[in-house]
Chains A and B, each alone.
Chain A
């Protein structure tokens, strides 16, 4: 397998992990906003507890994606950052507001009105940021970013201000909300709270299905080469069939309250969606002009980067496992976030 493909694979793997872990943290923000009913307060507390210890680490996957992109495929990074300057800047504002509001809420006065204010910033930023992330990915896949001699000729709005990138944006949001709801069923032993999030998982799962279809239909015009790629490669087709199977399994598991199965199925579903996209777009990094081969850094850089990624993974995964074993092996008994703040 070419070195470029391996590195691109690691980059996609990091993106998948960002979606599975960081994405669920965004989804937590969505359910914070839509917390209602007599257990609204408990729902919010459970979300805060689930996210607090892990969200900083989960967020680093995005930084890893960016670092791999600009080290291994520098011209692609330059073109993406130029053509998508506006949505990326907005994405950054979202990341800043979400991350800080979440922490400020934890350490500000534990009075309802103050906490509500921070929750509002946190949850609204949690909704806008995934949409922008989806818009950026959608624009990259759309084939509308054009350039000549390294100069972007397609303008600063054209490539992302279109139905397809926005559909991908809302699809990403729905996926993250779905993931979060599924995960949250396993974060508590409280039956009622479990039921709350089961219902949310089923509802958002339906929305995911509708938006998946919308994205697929819009891709006909919005991202023709990637859409064609799905039919072209038997791999991509197989992945899409598998995706449908995991989606069905997730619904079945939620319906029958088999939450561990639901978690595995939902995570597999999101993974397969991203892989399906990656296979359909391969070997293009930015449709239609930049491939991972045309944008690749010199061989020595790729070799050293791969060595660093392997060494980093050897250090990282045990630590990450340790973090999750400490905080995620047992569902929380209570729902008082204050217990965990000291």
Chain B
């Protein structure tokens, strides 16, 4: 393994690990405050129990997210010092703002988790809302910095050095809005589906448990609404990529030839040597429509670029396909859930009775996080060989430090260990979940 590959692997592993906790850190506070708000409104103690249960899980996950995020902020320099030396002055701004957003999140999370008995209920709910808002903001700021790497703006290059730096223009880069929107929705969708899946699983074992029904309804509402909106933001983002990084879009779809009225490929294996994508189901004109909004639009192919300016096509194409498939499935399940909910409401019947619906929710639980992970592969590998698209190559940015395989293996083992402990602790929380409404209320009274 070369040092460059080790550095890339360490960064990829760190990001893939952190993104899970970051997404949960964005979405869980929203679920918690919805539950707490319903408790304040209905005085039904089941919602208080729920908010507290979720808060416990969030505390564990937030701690892991906070430390793995700290690691990343250092790794930017440890692994890519040349990149940071070059770009720090241009994209430091969103990181600084993220610092403050994260600060706000940590402060109010402390109040939320430990202040149940120390602040009045409304102040407590307010603290939760602050956690939810600042959590979303810190995610948005970090994604804005990443968007700049895809669509670098706000500077000129003279003699290989950035001049005329405009950090505001860098923040308002063309990819910023669509990327931030796509990631924020993804966080809500993925977390909502995981939480809904867990409670659906518990409901299958204990069909009349009001606690799990309440939890499932809130999680599915947040996850479902986001999943229905997500394809729209994906479309927005794809159109941006088509404009700012046509070579990346071509890799998404294994599009080698420049083509008028290009088809959308489902599946297929790109053969980079031969320059074709085989065995794909092709839907005529759809890629031209999706990328440029017109069936006859020209989609630029990979062949327009020399090989040393193309990303690895196969992995980007496969990841893109998996992400889209997960997203589409989630949207369909969300629509099915919405239909069930509306029909049940109309007829005054329960909507969570169907065994099959619950089973599907259990099966769909990991889809959102699979989509997030593959989505980041699409974004990051699709940008290669550049670290700053068209400006600096990843190979130019890497640290001269030798033996990078050592930190890569060390951090990988450390994170595997953390993952195992985290999952084990969360399973304990779930296993200890209240059985039956009576137990809930007893516990809620004790907790209050």
Name A321-342 residues within 8 Å CB distance of B: 322-323, 326-327, 340, 342
B165 at the interface (CB under 8 A from A): yes
B325 at the interface (CB under 8 A from A): no
Name B99-127 residues within 8 Å CB distance of A: 99-100, 102-104, 106-111, 113-116, 118-119
The contact of A301 among B81, B92, B106, by CB within 8 Å, is: B92
Q: Select from chain A the residue with minimum beta-carbon distance to B130.
A: A319
Q: What residues of B have a CB within 8 angstroms of the CB of A5 in the complex? A: none
Name B64-96 residues within 8 Å CB distance of A: 64, 66-71, 73-78, 81-82, 84-90, 92-93, 95-96
Q: Select from chain B the residue with minimum beta-carbon distance to A55.
A: B110
Q: How far, in angstroms, from A82 to B135 measured CA to CA in the complex?
A: 31
Q: How far, in angstroms, from A168 to B267 measured CA to CA in the complex?
A: 58
The contact of A308 among B64, B93, B400, by CB within 8 Å, is: B93
The contact of A93 among B73, B89, B98, B414, by CB within 8 Å, is: B414
B286 at the interface (CB under 8 A from A): no
Q: What residues of B have a CB within 8 angstroms of the CB of A309 in the complex? A: 96
Nearest Cβ distance between residue B138 and chain A, in whole angstroms?
A: 10
- Tell whether A63 pairs with B99 under 8 Å between CB atoms, given A100-B421, A322-B111: yes
- Establish whether residues A81 and B78, one from each chain, have CB atoms under 8 Å apart when the complex forms: yes
Name A111-163 residues within 8 Å CB distance of B: 150-152, 156
A71-88 near B? 1/0 per residue, CB < 8 Å: 111110111111001001
B63 at the interface (CB under 8 A from A): yes
The contact of A53 among B110, B163, B418, by CB within 8 Å, is: B110
- Establish whether residues A82 and B103, one from each chain, have CB atoms under 8 Å apart when the complex forms: no
- Tell whether A67 pairs with B167 under 8 Å between CB atoms, given A104-B60, A107-B60, A150-B82: no
Q: What residues of A have a CB within 8 angstroms of the CB of B209 in the complex? A: none
- Tell whether A60 pairs with B106 under 8 Å between CB atoms, given A103-B63, A104-B425, A301-B89: yes
Nearest Cβ distance between residue B79 and chain A, in whole angstroms?
A: 8
- Establish whether residues A156 and B401, one from each chain, have CB atoms under 8 Å apart when the complex forms: yes
- Establish whether residues A60 and B52, one from each chain, have CB atoms under 8 Å apart when the complex forms: no
- Establish whether residues B81 and A79, one from each chain, have CB atoms under 8 Å apart when the complex forms: yes
The contact of B414 among A73, A96, A108, by CB within 8 Å, is: A96
Nearest Cβ distance between residue B67 and chain A, in whole angstroms?
A: 4
A89 at the interface (CB under 8 A from B): yes
Q: What residues of A have a CB within 8 angstroms of the CB of B402 in the complex? A: 156
- Tell whether A326 pairs with B84 under 8 Å between CB atoms, given A70-B95, A308-B96: no
B307 at the interface (CB under 8 A from A): no
Q: How far, in angstroms, from A108 to B106 measured CA to CA in the complex?
A: 21
B283 at the interface (CB under 8 A from A): no
Q: What residues of A have a CB within 8 angstroms of the CB of B59 in the complex? A: 103, 106-107
A320 at the interface (CB under 8 A from B): yes
Q: What residues of A have a CB within 8 angstroms of the CB of B102 in the complex? A: 60, 63
Q: What residues of A have a CB within 8 angstroms of the CB of B109 in the complex? A: 56
Q: How far, in angstroms, from A156 to B81 measured CA to CA in the complex?
A: 14
Name A9-67 residues within 8 Å CB distance of B: 52-54, 56-57, 59-60, 62-64, 66-67
Q: What residues of A have a CB within 8 angstroms of the CB of B104 in the complex? A: 315-316, 319
Q: What residues of A have a CB within 8 angstroms of the CB of B116 in the complex? A: 342
B344 at the interface (CB under 8 A from A): no
Q: How far, in angstroms, from A316 to B89 measured CA to CA in the complex?
A: 23
- Tell whether A71 pairs with B96 under 8 Å between CB atoms, given A340-B114, A342-B447: yes
Q: How far, in angstroms, from A327 to B62 measured CA to CA in the complex?
A: 20
Q: How far, in angstroms, from A104 to B63 measured CA to CA in the complex?
A: 9
- Establish whether residues B73 and A66, one from each chain, have CB atoms under 8 Å apart when the complex forms: yes
Q: How far, in angstroms, from A185 to B23 measured CA to CA in the complex?
A: 39
B293 at the interface (CB under 8 A from A): no
16 interchain pairs, CB-CB under 8 A: A52-B114, A57-B110, A70-B76, A74-B85, A93-B411, A103-B63, A104-B421, A107-B59, A107-B429, A297-B89, A301-B89, A301-B92, A304-B167, A305-B96, A316-B107, A327-B115
Report A's interface with B, CB cutoff 8 A: 52-54, 56-57, 59-60, 62-64, 66-68, 70-75, 77-82, 85, 88-89, 92-93, 95-97, 99-100, 102-104, 106-109, 150-152, 156, 297-298, 300-301, 304-305, 308-309, 311-312, 315-316, 319-320, 322-323, 326-327, 340, 342
Instruction: Give 20 A-B pairs besides A56-B110, A71-B92 with Cβ atoms closer than 8 angstroms.
Output: A54-B110, A64-B99, A64-B103, A66-B74, A71-B89, A74-B85, A74-B87, A77-B84, A77-B85, A89-B410, A92-B71, A102-B63, A150-B82, A297-B88, A300-B165, A300-B166, A305-B96, A319-B108, A323-B110, A327-B110
